[in-house]
Each structure stands twice: as C-alpha cells, then as structure tokens.
Structure 1
Amino acid sequence: MTVLTGSPRAISPEEFQEISDLLRRRTGIRLSVGKESLVMGRLDKRLRQLGIATYREYLELLRQPEEPELNQAIDLLTTNETFFFREPRHFDFLREEVLPRHPGNRPFRLWSAASSSGEEAYTAAMVLAEGLSDAAWEVVGTDVSARVVASAQRGVYPIEAAERVPLPLLRKYCRKGREEYTGLMAIAPELRARTTFVRANLMENLTGLGRFDVIFLRNVMIYFGADTKIALVERLEEMLQPGGYLIVSLSETLKGISSRLKMVEPSVYARV
C-alpha cells in the first residue's frame, strides 16, 4: 500500500455534497456548506492510509456494496464530544423527580441514545446505583460509531475526566490506574455490569432494544433536518414506557414536532 504525503488535498463542492448526502442518508446528520475544512481534516489522513489520491476515488469506494469503509468514514465524520455530568440539571431531575416515582415492579431502564464514549451512560449509572440501591436497573448506550462504542465498553478514561465527577461518587464508582495505567481511571465493575453498549443507527428501527423509563437524546437533533427530527421523535416515543421521559439538550427543543410528549420543563418531555 502506498501512503501519500503532502498538503491536505482539496475537496470539490460536488465531492463535499456527495459525502454529505451519504452521511445524511446513513445517519441523518447534515454537513452544511462551510464544513468542507472539517471533512478534509478528518478524512485526509484516511485517504493517505488507503493510498487513495482523490475524494472521487474515495467516493467510489464508499459506494461499493457491503463496503465497511463507509462505517470507517462515519466514525471519522461524527462528532463525539462529551464528558461526565454534562448538563447536570438532567441528572438532578433523574435523581429527584424520576427515581422516587418508579413503581419498582419492573427493572428501571435508561437509554443513552447517542452515548459516544460512554460518559453520559456511566454518569446515569452512578445516579441509578445511588437512587435505586439494590433494585433492578439497566443502562443501555448506543452510538453509530463502532470506535466510540468500543471505547465506552472498556470504561477507561483520562484521569482528568475525574474532575467533573462529584468526589463521593468518584471514590465509590471509579478506580485510579496504577503502573501501566497511570494517568487513567476505570469505571467500577459493578457499574459496567449493568451498562451495555451496542452500535446502533438512530435512523433504523431499534424497537428490539425494548422500552425505557428514560431516554437521553442530548446534543443530537441539532445535526438533523426537520423531517429527520420528526421521524426520530415518533420512533423514540414508542420506545418510552407510559409516563417515561425523553430528555434532550438544554439547547434543543421539540417545538413544532407533533407528538404525545408533554414538556415538563425545558428539555424534559414526558410521554402522556
């Protein structure tokens, strides 16, 4: 294999649009005009690894039937920024409003629907472990990127990530790495045992995951068009238990989307 060197190659408007269309059809994510530098920055190294000289050649590869390279491109192009206890108000709501009202006659199930490298799912797991004690509960995390799903399954993070975890929870549910793991921390086995991560595409039918008491869908819909948002909310609504909650980012809203979901407070919606 030849690895090409030199400055990042330019992408034409037509090539950018075709890559954007592929990503949108597969994941629902839109790459608007102006994101050309992002695409070049994230794909240029991959083209060099493959010995591919142009984006036109790369597009031909992506369009081949059953070509795994499309999943690799999705991994590179999707944004996976997250951290522990991001938007803490949502975890306060989970602890103070949701858990005390759970009937207890069935396991409590929470879905982190765009879990990235797992920080959101493990944060929720800490809250559930504290609030439900020995009761049955489960956290499911999904993401379209196989790379970040694998990272989440490992449950190992830079030690700097600990700065956002409240000290009592840090001591109870995180383990500081030693020797070859110096500079890292690991999620405790008892949390990992109740937290499952799978690769899944939100554009597909995911009813096989079952129903949930809470679905976190935060910082996702900002990348979707109106039609995609409507279809996604319809699907997730059916996956909520009656009285369950869909929680979106504080910067997002379901305004203009017709559903059986009623706003409880900004960014929190209940299925009625």
Structure 2
Amino acid sequence: MLPFATAAGLTDTEFRHIAKLLHEHTGIRLGPGKETLVTARLDKRVRQLGLSGYAEYVDLIDDRHDEAELHQMINLLTTNETFFFREPRHFEFLAQVLVPARPVGRAFRMWSAASSTGEEAYTAAMVLAERMPPPSWEIVGSDISSRVVEVAGRALYPIEAAGKIPPELLRKYCLRGREEYEGLFTIGRELRGRVEFHCLNLMGDVRKLGRFDVIFLRNVMIYFDVDTKRDLVSRLQNMLHPDGHLIIGSSESLNSISGGLRMVEPSIYRLAGAHV
C-alpha cells in the first residue's frame, strides 16, 4: 500500500467504534454529526500509516492491539482551540476577587485542568504575577494529550498569538524569538518556573495533584454526557480548598449537577460550606 494513498471513507460502523473507544478512555462522547471532525483529525494519520482506510485503522487500535496508536488517536481527537486571555471575565475574576481573598500562610494554587498548549495557564500566570510575588502562587496545567503538553512545556508560540496579550504584559513577561526562532515568542523563564504541566486523564485518579484554590475547566464538559459530568464535578470539588472555585466555559452550566458548588455568577462556582 502506498503511504500517502487516499484513505477509504469513514463508515458509520467505523465512526461508532472510534467514538466508543474515545468515550471509554476519555469520557468524551462524539455523537452523530461529528464524522467530519473525525476524518479531518485522523485522515492524515491513516495515510501516514500506509493503511487502506479506517477499517484497518480500527483493527489496529481495537482490543489494545496497539496502545501507542490508541494514545495517538486520543491526542489527535482531543486537541481544543485555545488562545491567550480567552474569556477575559474569568481572568478579571481571578484578579479582582480571588487574589484579594487569597488565604494567608500557604501558596495560592490554580489548576488549568484542560490546559491544551498552555495559553490558559500562562495567561493566569501573568495575572497572578502582577498581583503576588512568585513564591506565593503556583499553577498546574494538565491535558490528556501528550503532544499539547509538550508544546505547553516548551512555551513557544507564533508571534500572531501575542495579539490577545495586553502590550504591557507582553513586554514584561514575553520574549521575541531571534534567528532560528524568528516569528515566535516565548514566555519568560520566571513565569515558566511557576507553571508545571502533566499529561493526565481527567477520568483517572487526579488526587495526586493536591488541592487548589481555583480550578479552570473550560469548554471541556460540552463533550461529556450528564453522568460523566456529574462524576467529574463531584471529584473536582473534592480537590478544592474550602471556599474554592470552579470556573467552566462561558457557554457551559452545572445545572442539576453542581453538587456542593454554588453559582457566584454564570460559569463561576464556589464550594459552599465547610469541606473536609
């Protein structure tokens, strides 16, 4: 077979099988109508492997025949759009409400729980660095995709991505690339030192990360069914300090699944009452 031959089209059976595997391993549910997304994300990979089509690809990843390829499929299907200072109201809340109310005697901890290529975590780092000295805060970023976690750790971005960063913060916390890094910029070493990234499946045991004052989980649960959302929210609230906050995407809601969380304003929830 030619490695760059056109892959045979995705059938309904193959789509359902790929969707089933993705749901089992990540909690993400791909319903009817997502066939185009699957082919857009996977077609190049199928051709790179020299396969004739998706039937062979399903055989490759089915029944754990190829764990590495299954992980590669998850990488390709779970990458979400992100950019610096996306949904700015959340970062205003972080600066204007959470930082002034921060606890005394311990570091303020934030978890970017679907950090993708790192823009959310580094945006929060700029916000916190403007208001607190570095030893008093830390950020953890995590994503199920090892590929985007590697990008986040490198902290190298196209210069066009800097357009959303306020000019004063761009000058203070970012560095323009030169020579082989022409056309790129990076986050300064001081901020990078306060942010750590992990490849992590939210459906697994995440307790090792510890507890947090705020968790950002934005634009992720739109892909989950109600039972998966309820289970995830229950586990996340157990990782919040008393009066900690969970921030979700502006288009999302925790209606009927909020558990011990109470809405402060749309998309922003606080853990109510004492928490042990």
Same fold? TM cut 0.5: yes
TM-score range, shorter chain: over 0.9
What residue is the counterpart of 1:271 in the other structure? 271
Distance 2:241 2:233 in 1: 14
| CA deviations over 1:225-268 (Å, ceiling 9, x no partner) | 10110000001000001111000011001011141101111111
Contact (CA 8 Å) 1:243, 1:270: kept in 2 or not? yes
**Aligned pair 1:94/2:84, yes or no?**
no
Matched with 2:56 is: 57
Answer whether contact 1:4 1:53 (CA < 8 A) is retained: no
Give the counterpart letter for 1:13 in structure 2: D
Aligned to 2:28: 29
Mapped to 2, the partners of 1:258 and 1:220 lie a distance apart of: 16
Looking at structure 2, the residues matched to 266 and 218 of structure 1 have their Cα atoms a distance apart, in angstroms, of 12
Unmatched 5+ residue regions in structure 1?
A: none
The 1:258/1:169 distance shift into structure 2, 3 A limit, reads: closer
SS at match of 2:109: strand
Runs of 4+ in 1 over 3 A off after TM superposition: none
1:78 matched to 2:73? The reply is no
The more displaced of 189-198 and 258-267 is 258-267
* TM-score, normalising length: structure 2: 0.95
Residue 193 of structure 1 corresponds to which residue in structure 2? Answer: 193
Structure 1 counterpart of 2:251: 251
Using the aligned pairs only, state the percent identity: 58
Residue aligned with 2:93, SS: helix
1:107 corresponds to 2:107: yes
Q: 1:2 offset after TM fit, Å?
A: 4.5
Q: CA deviation at 1:79?
A: 3.3
Instruction: Tell me the equivalent position of 1:118.
Output: 118
CA contact (8 A) 2:60 2:66 kept: no
The answer to whether the Cα contact below 8 Å between 1:144 and 1:199 also exists between their aligned partners in 2 is yes
Give the superposition deviation at 1:135: 4.2
Larger deviation, residues 55-64 vs 98-107 = 55-64
> Corresponding residue for 1:176?
176
Q: Is 2:134–2:194's contact at 8 Å kept on the other side of the alignment?
A: no
**1:2–1:50 Cα contact (<8 Å) kept:** no
Aligned to 2:140: 140
